[in-house]
Structures are given as structure tokens and as C-alpha cells.
Structure 1
Amino acid sequence: MVTRSDNGSILVMVLLFTAILLTLTMSLAYLGRTNNRMATLRLQEEQAFYLAKAGLAAAEARLRVNPDLSSGFTGNLGVGAFRVTIGSEERSGSRRRLQIIASGESGSARKTLTGIFLVEPYPHHPVWSYTLYSSEDIYLGNITVEGNIFCNGNVIITGPCQVDGNIQAAGEAMVEEGIGAIEISPDQEPLFQPHLNIDFYRRMSVQNLPDGILIEGSNTPVGVTFVEGNATVSGTFPAGSAVVATGTISINPGTQTEGEGLLLIAAGESINVTSGCNLRCVLYATGSVNFIGSTSLSGVAAGGRIVLQGPAEFVYVEPTASVTELTIPLPGLNVSRETWYENATTIRSS
């Protein structure tokens, strides 16, 4: 027979067991919510970290286009946003060392990274301060030049040469008999040829064209037109555009640029400027820049060799002047990330 005392004991046991189950259930639910929240926070922290890294990468890309970058910017990548601010900077000679701070935010998490960037030669390679630059010997004759000339080798004057500027050479200066006195400054410190980073221009191109293409300026968009091989250019190009090829670029007569703008033409091998050309360009070739016949150029010509095969006129135009509308990076600018480090992580309370 079950007594009242036994019933009471059973009831107490049931209540105790129920309380234990309820506590355990609540604990498991709380633990699940905590684990989910921690997992979400970890995911948001990782996303914030990569957003901050994306901010540093975006700043590096902007520095390559504009080495004078001085104001911050923001970006949004769907899972979150980043904010870039410009910190302290040091300028020494042709170098600019810059602190850039990038913060990434995802949900409740924020990560901040600081990068130290070096821009050199700043603001651009010194070659672009000369009307003509040749890494090897240069033969000058039957030319008119407004601006300065630099040669890493010897300068040989073979004919009439009117230069309103300085002629500098890392090697010797030689003037053929009967030409007269021409002022040349020999034995200068060498000025090494800029490096043409083909992969960089390939990545930033707005169109990529095949070998042997004829590029008509009126059909060319603003930005870099990249050619895998050789190309011929003709017609009127928009100001601030560029043609970069891995091979040789030939320039037809009548090639020009809209308004006061400059066109950048860069070749991994050589450039041939055809007789009759009257250009507003920055010309760069790893090999030779060949002026064939009677030609004229307003801008800059630089290469492994400058070859003059006819009468020529040159007028210096500063490539980085605002009137040229040329914002595409010139060969030779190097932007490197010296170091980067992580700042504190911030978790906002929800």
C-alpha cells in the first residue's frame, strides 16, 4: 500500500528531475546561442580583416595611378565596407614614404591594418624630365630640340643640331668636323632606363588585342589598350589613353591626340615613327625608338636607343601636367609595401 509519505517523495523526485531537465535544456540552449554568436563574431572578424587588406590593396593601386595620393576613400564589398585614411608621410629626395591606415567592418567587428608604402622615384622617373632619353649612344644631326637631352652612352653630333636646353651624357661628347661648337656636358652620373612592367599594363587594360592589329584612334576607349604582339596605330586618340604592346608599335602619319592631351605609346621591343608624323605623345620602348624620315614630336621620347633617320623637331611637354590628361602611370614608377601590421580588433556590443 502506497502511503501519503511515499506519494510526497515521488512528487519531490519528479519535480527535482523536471528541474534538472529544465536547467540542462536551458544550459544547452544558452550554450548553443553562445557558440553561434561566437562563430558569427569569428566570421565577422575574418571578414573585417580581409576587408582591411582590400583597403590596403586599393590604396596601392591608387598610388600607382596617382603617386600624389593625399586623401582617403571608402569601399564596399557586399559583406562589409572598408575605410582608408592617409597617415604620416616622409619625403626624401626622390622617395615618398607613406603611412596608410585601412579599417574593415563586417557586422559588429572592425579590424584595422596599417601599411607603410614606398613610392620611388617620386613623383615620377627622372627620365620623364627630358625631351629625349637614350640608354645607349645617340647620334644627333639635322634636328631642333626644345628641352633637355640625356644619354647613358656617348653623344655624337653628326649634323646641324639646334638645342634650346642641355645635352648631358654619361659617356663622352663627340662633334664631327665642320659642325661648330655645341655645348655638351659629358661624364654625368648614369640615369638608368625605366622598367616597363608589361604585366602591370596588361592587368589595367580596358581592352586586350591580338598580334598584328591596326588600332584606329576613333574606336579606342580611354585607358590602356594592350596588344599581345605587334601593332600599328593611326587616327585621333582620346586624351589620356595609352597603347602598350609586348612587341613593336608602328605609328602612321596623321596619328594625333584630342586637344592638348598626350597619348602614351609603350613597346616591349621597339617603336617606329613613320615619316610625316606630327605627334603629341610620350614614347617609350625597351629597345629602340626609330624616327624614320621627317617627323616631329611634342612630348617625350625615351628608349634603349633613339635612332634619327631624317630631319626631326622635338618640343618637351611635361607628361604629368594636368593639361595632358595623362593619368596612366608612366614606366619606371615603383610602389612597394615595405611592411604592414595589425592594430587592435574592435567588437561593438550588440
Structure 2
Amino acid sequence: MIAPLTSAALLLGYAVVCSALEVGPVRVVNNRTYISYTADPKPDTNILECPYTLADSEVVAKVSWSLWQDDQEEGTFEWQPESTSEATGKLRDAVNLTRDDGSLELTTLRYDLAGYYSCAVTLSGAEREESEKWQLLIIDTTSAHFSSKTNSNKEECVYISSFETYAVFPPPTVHAGMYSNSHGGYYDEVTGSQWKKTIYANKSTSYAYDDIKFKISEETPLDAEFRSSIGVTKEDGTYIPLASTTSLAGMITERGCPELNLERSQAVQFRKIDRTCRNELKPWHFTGQAEVKCKEGFLAEGDVHDLVFDCHSTNLTWTPEPEADYLATLKCAPDPNSDDDDDDNGGSLASLSSLTLLLLSPTLLRLLE
């Protein structure tokens, strides 16, 4: 038999059910994602807030904080209105005890104050709600100096990069390589084994690599760039970016006019034209030319014997001189007087037919016998 609830228990159950109290998640003031390590913390920058909502009739009696490291509670802070706040463990002498809002303000910064923080709000009626644990990073960027050296080998179409990050605590996440938004980010990246890692006495870490080559070719995305980035990754996978650099070297960005769509019987000769690493046709200065004629072994039919096209550096398109229809205006037919053995030459096909008949003749003779 279940014992009847007392009036006090019924009232408490009713209060718990009807309470509007919601707590968390913990956050850094001003929507910051981490606290930056400095020797002398500035006011209003190193504050953890414990957001909560409650009904108009509810009154907060206490806000409690806990610092967790390796699932162990390593420090506490307790705030009560019109009462002296208290701190224990690693939070002793490290937080502001005179605040009037229940937030946790770090008055000194140490690496060992990073960890998981949770807060709990207790109402005057004894209702209590606690937030989930939230990881706080205290990031020390010991400097802001990147060391970067780049070089381009146009003949081999390779971009060569050397790079060294500044030291960071906690150990940073680093990326470097060819980057493209259309390809979803890094698509040709410095691998983990190519990075050289240096750990310093204060446990900060830097990374570097030397003279790694990245190929630029027809497969290189048009929005490609070379990017280096450094950040810190939280245990839940959240990446916090700290800094990045972008290189738009000429060989990566240079564009040219596309290939001309020639007929098989046509040939082209270029003037004042270079090849880009994407195998496009780039004018030397402002304009390059392409002259299209019939191949050797072919003769032009009609009045058009050649066509001249200009590649303009401003719009990178081919424009015929004079304005006319495209390559179809140049008609090329096999030269009956040519001895060329090209596959497109009618003489070659005739020779092949003669050779076929010659090879088949013994068989035909046997069939006739």
C-alpha cells in the first residue's frame, strides 16, 4: 500500500512541476568562444555566465559553480545574494568574490583553470537545476608571428611552401594546403607526418614544415587558393579559429583563353601566347593571336584560306578578325596531289583499302579454285 502524500510533499511536488526554472548552458561573456590568456586579466572579458530563466514569483537563493578536470571536481564557487561568496580548490583566490550577479569572474589566469565548468541555480523554495558541463579553453597565443616562405616553379607548375606557426597553448590544430570552397575546403593538404612539432617548456606547441610542393594543373579548381590556418579544437570537435593566411600566387590565379575548337583538318599557330598551368592560352600583354589554316595535306575550299583570332586579356575570349562566323567558314578538303600519310588524308584510306585487298587476294583465289 502506498502511503498518502503529506500536504507539504504535495505542495513541493506541485512547485517542482510548475517551476519555470531552466539553467545553462554555460557561456563566456559577450559570446566569446574562449578566454585569452594574459598576465593581467581585463574587467568584463574573463567572465563565465550561468544563464537561467524563472517565473516572476521565483527568487534565486544561490548560484553554484564547479570546475571539472578528468571527471574530478577541482574547484567550487558559491554565490548568494547579500552574503559572502566562497571559493575552494583551484578557484580559491582566482575569482571575484564581490560580484552581485552570480557570474564567475576569473581574476587571475592559469593554464590549470581551463576545464569543464557547470553551474547550478537554487531557488528560495529549494528547487534546483544544474547545467551540463561546458569546456572552457584558456588559450595562450605566445605571439602572433607566422613564418612563411613561398616559391613558384612555373616550368614544373608547382607551388612550393615552407611555414612555421607561433606557439599556442593548448596544442593547436593546424592546416595548410590548397583550399577551394567549391571542393569543400582543403583538397591537397600538408599531411600529419609532414608537420614538425615542437613542445616548449610551458607546454605550448608550434608546428612547421619545409619546401612542400603543390601541383597546379587543369584539375586545379578555379577558386583555388593556398591557405594556412591555426586554431584549437575542443574535445567535442568544435574548432575555434585563431588566425589564417591566404596566398593567391600568380600561377594559381592566372587564367587564359580556352583552346580553339578546331576541325580535324585544321591547324593553329599562336603568336604572343603563353600556356598557363591550367593549360589555358594567356596573351603576353593585352592581346595574343591565333592563326588557323588548313593542315598539311589539305586545301582550303572557297575564298577563306585562313582565320585570325585575338585573345584579349580583359575578357579572355577569342574574337575573330574580321568579325565572321566561327571556324566553319574555313573549309578544308584533302589535297589530291598530297602524299601525306595522315589518317585524315583520302590517299591514306585508299592505300589501306588496297592493302586490305592485297591481303585478302590469296583467300579469294582459293575460293575461286
TM-score if structure 1 supplies the norm length?
0.26
Higher helix share: 1
TM-score if structure 2 supplies the norm length?
0.25
Tell which structure's C-alpha radius of gyration is larger. 2
Higher RCO structure (Cα 8 Å, ≥6 apart): 1
